[in-house]
Amino acid sequence: MTSVAAGHYQQTAVRQRMAEFLGRSSGRRATAAYLVGADGRGEFTAPAPARALSGFLEGGLDIERSLWDRNLLLFDLDIEYQNFDAPALAWAEPERVFALQEPVLAAALRFLRERLIAPLTLVSGRGYHLVWAIARASVAFRRLTELGTVPASLAERYAAVRSPDGDRVDPALGRAFAAQGRLVEYLAHRIRQAAMAHCTLPVQLTAIEVGRGAAGREIISLDLSEYGDPFHTRHIRIPFSLYLKPREPRWRLEETQLRRLLPIVAIPRGAMEAAAATAAARSPARVAALAESSSTRIPVFSRAMNRLIDEYEGSPLGQWHQAFAQRLPAAPPAAPSPVADPIPGAPPCLDWLFAHPNDWLLKPAALQHVVRVLTALAWPPEAIARRIHAAYRQDHAWGRTWVAMDPAWRAEFYTRLFAGMIATGADTLVDLNCVSHQEKGYCRVPDCRSNLAELRDRLQARRTV
Tell me how far apart the alpha carbons of residues 71 and 302 are, in angstroms, rounded to a whole number.
12
Tell me how far apart the alpha carbons of residues 348 and 353 are, in angstroms, rounded to a whole number.
9
Mean pLDDT to the nearest integer, 322-335? 79
Tell me how far apart the alpha carbons of residues 407 and 370 are, in angstroms, rounded to a whole number.
16
Interval 148-188: pLDDT, tens: 999 999 999 999 999 999 999 999 999 999 999 999 999 99
Reported as half-sphere exposure (CB side, CA atoms, 13 A), residue 93 has a value of 13
Q: Is 324 exposed, middle or buried (0-12, 13-18, 19+ CB in 10 A)?
A: buried
Interval 31-64: pLDDT, tens: 999 999 999 999 999 999 999 999 999 999 999 9
pLDDT at 27: 72
Q: 3 pLDDT exceeds 70?
A: no
The DSSP result for 212-278, as a single string, is -BTTBSEEEEEE-GGGGS-GGG-EEEPTT-B--GGGSGGG---HHHHHHH---B-EE-TT--HHHHH
Q: 335 pLDDT exceeds 70?
A: no
Mean pLDDT (the chain) is 93
Mean pLDDT to the nearest integer, 243-262? 91
Q: How far apart are the first and last CA of the chain?
A: 63
Interval 256-312: pLDDT, tens: 999 999 999 999 999 999 999 999 999 999 999 999 999 999 999 999 999 999 999
Reported as half-sphere exposure (CB side, CA atoms, 13 A), residue 141 has a value of 18
pLDDT at 214: 87
CA angle, 131 as apex, 234 and 23 as ends, to 5°? Answer: 75
Lowest mean pLDDT among 3-17, 107-121, 205-219, 276-290: 3-17
Instruction: Please name which of 241, 270, 246, 242 lies closest in space to residue 256, comparing C-alpha atoms.
Output: 246
Mean pLDDT to the nearest integer, 200-225? 95
* 148 within 8 A of 175, measured Cβ to Cβ: yes
Mean pLDDT to the nearest integer, 308-327? 96
Interval 12-33: pLDDT, tens: 999 999 999 999 977 788 999 9
Tell me how far apart the alpha carbons of residues 134 and 267 are, in angstroms, rounded to a whole number.
22
Please state, for a pLDDT cut of 70, what percent of the chain lies above it: 96
Angle between helices 316-327 and 407-424 (to 10 degrees): 140
pLDDT at 462: 78
Buried b (16+ CB within 10 A) or exposed e, 445-461: eeeeebebeebbeebee
CA angle, 463 as apex, 149 and 218 as ends, to 5°? Answer: 75
Q: How far from the centroid of its chain's Cα atoms is residue 245's Cα?
A: 16
pLDDT at 465: 44
